[in-house]
Amino acid sequence: MRAYQKILSEIRSLGGELLAISPQTPDKSQATLLKNFLQYEVLSDVGNVVARQFGLVYPVAAEMRRIYLGFGVDLAEYNGDASWELPLPGTFIVDRSMTVRLSFVDADYTKRLEPAAILDTLRTLGGRAEA
Amino acid sequence: MAGEEPKLTLELQKELDGLRESYLATTPADVTETVQRATEQLLVSGITERTLKVGTRAPEFSLPNAVGREVRLSTVLARGTAVITFYRGVW
């Protein structure tokens, strides 16, 4: 989340707007925003409705639930639903015609998209926002 | 008041050290192995083949932001390109 904050001004100067989406309730999203000094939209997708449309939702395995609970993380409470489903971390760039221009999803949580790849895609789209 | 501060700090430090020690003592084998196993299961589940790909049409959506105001994708796209990042949450 902080990595995106660092390139936020570059994203904007290339005509991009950053939206972060998680299944957490707006209250929890607000906490995330404040704790990390984020200056972009943090949206609340309770029930993973939008994440499902992007094909990202998976059920948390029973043995992983025990680990989350062991760390005091009750996803049912954080997410406001009892499904214990989560989205895979993923980043998409959608152009003005609603077409996906970059799609990065990895089931391996240790791999994240290089922020530079986002800027490269925005540059190739070339669509500078009208100032 | 100022005189109490070092004591509080020491206590906090002790608590943090205690947390770290218990984390290191309890985490190793079981948790790290479980996380690894769950990650591998996700990878073989084929989920990444079903995600939205380049060239496809994104779904329209409207979601509340951190202060409860609705943010609509098409409204964002009227201003520019959308960079959408999904994350599990921050706990």
Look at residue A113 and tell me if it is in a domain: yes
Q: Tell me how crowded residue B47 is: count the other CB atoms within 10 A of its CB.
A: 17
Res B13: pLDDT: 62
- List, for residues A16-46, the tens digit of each pLDDT value: 999 999 999 998 888 888 888 889 999 999 9
A51 neighbors A87 (Cβ within 8 angstroms): yes
Chain A hits for B70, CB-CB cut-off 8 Å, are: none
To 10 degrees, what angle do helices B28-44 and B5-26 make?
60
Residues B4-14: what's their mean pLDDT? 52
pLDDT score, position B8: 46
Structure confidence at residue B70 as a pLDDT band (50, 70, 90): very high
If we measure between CA atoms, which residue out of A39, A17, A38 comes closest to residue B77?
Answer: A17
- Closest chain A C-alpha to B18 CA, distance in angstroms: 15
A129 in a structural domain: no
Supply the pLDDT for residue B2. 43
The CATH number given to whatever domain includes residue A68 is 3.40.30.10
Task: Confirm whether A60 is domain-assigned.
Answer: yes
Q: What is the widest separation between alpha-carbon atoms in chain B?
A: 64
| The total number of structural domains that make up chain A | 1
B29-63 residue pLDDT tens: 778 788 888 888 888 888 888 999 999 999 999 99
Give me the domain span that covers residue A6: 2-124
**Chain A neighbors of B47, CB-CB under 8 A:** 55-56, 58, 88, 107
Q: Quick one: how far is CA A32 from the chain centroid? A: 12
> Taking CB atoms and an 8 Å cutoff, what residues of chain A touch B63?
21, 43-45, 50
Phi, psi at B63, each rounded to 5°: -130, 150
Instruction: Report if residue A131 sits inside a domain.
Output: no
Nearest Cα neighbor of B61 from A98, A72, A125 is A98
